[in-house]
Amino acid sequence: MSNTIIETNFNFPNQKSVYKGKVREVYNINDDQLVMVATDRLSAFDVVMPKGIPYKGQILNQIATKMMKATQDLVPNWLVATPDPNVAVGHLCQPFKVEMVIRGYMSGHAAREYKLGKRTLCGVAMPEGMKENDKFPQPIITPATKAEMGDHDEDISREDIIAKGIVTEADYLVLEDYTKKLFKRGTEIAAARDLILVDTKYEFGKTKDGTIVLIDEIHTPDSSRYFYADGYQERQDRGEAQKQLSKEFVRQWLIANDFQGLEGQTVPFMSDEYIKTVSNRYIELYENITGDTFVKGDVSNIQSRIEANVLEYLG
């Protein structure tokens, strides 16, 4: 669709390199700052869909910005400025090659593994007798190795991360501590909006001076799963699906259309009408998660808008 941003090819002053992830494109400015552009690409089952979702990048960027500011007293983060609705600028960091996934409820990937009979995920035991979407006695951390664009992230245990030297034990203890603190705060923020933060992932990096900081997105519908708190227990008692705020609705649509990112499967056709419903759902997510009315950015020429705003900031 013409009013989306699928990829970028900027050439900013003092630009050293560009990293293109599944959704974000990151420009290295003078080995000092990073300009992170949130595109409208949609990723599910670690596969990037062929069409963009209008306003998705803006929504993710603005939620992440709000959540970074709401947690900066707990955990230092990389963010310095947001000169454009789709852009965050921050400190250059060396990312850790793991995603810190934390789960308060047995949902999504954990539930799918549980249904296959598995009772251990990433080296962490899951109790017997649980139903999908039940709350864990305590949140569990189930890390994943960080994949490049288009590749599948893989579950990995804390022990393997340390044994393989992916992260030192000292640094991993900090990542675990930060993950627990962020999830607790995220749970409190969600509860104030009558939501349940079900599970989420955090990514971290090191600045030049060796400080471990939170990077990338936080508590967005792409990185997190939310349930509506109202009626949660009643739905569990009746064995009904939970009413949720996340991109799980996209995953379920793909599953219903015989796609789970497996070899030989083809991404189903997404009509413009379906794309519009996904965009509207993301706007709904934004307003429910933040409590703010979503203000659409000017999408008449997103590339030019972003370039002008970033150049003015770097000025």
Cα 185–187–193 angle (5° rounding)? Answer: 110
Specify the pLDDT at position 222: 83
Domains of the chain (ranges; CATH) run 15-93+271-314 (3.30.200.20), 95-245 (3.30.470.20)
Task: Please write down the HEC assignment for all residues of 134-170.
Answer: CEEEEEEECCEECCCCCCCCEECCHHHHHHCCCCCHH
Structure token digits, residue 28: 């290295």
Specify the pLDDT at position 192: 96
The segments of the chain whose pLDDT lies below 50 read 1, 149-150
- At 219-246, the pLDDT tens digits run 998 889 999 999 999 999 999 999 887 7
- At 51-74, the pLDDT tens digits run 999 999 999 999 999 999 999 999
**Which residue is it, tokens 């044994």?**
163
Specify the pLDDT at position 245: 78
Specify the pLDDT at position 149: 47
Q: What is the pTM of this model?
A: 0.89
| Residues in the chain, total | 315
Structure token digits, residue 231: 């009626």
Residue 249's alpha-carbon distances to 59, 71, 171, in angstroms, are 17, 27, 35
Specify the pLDDT at position 265: 92
Specify the pLDDT at position 148: 54
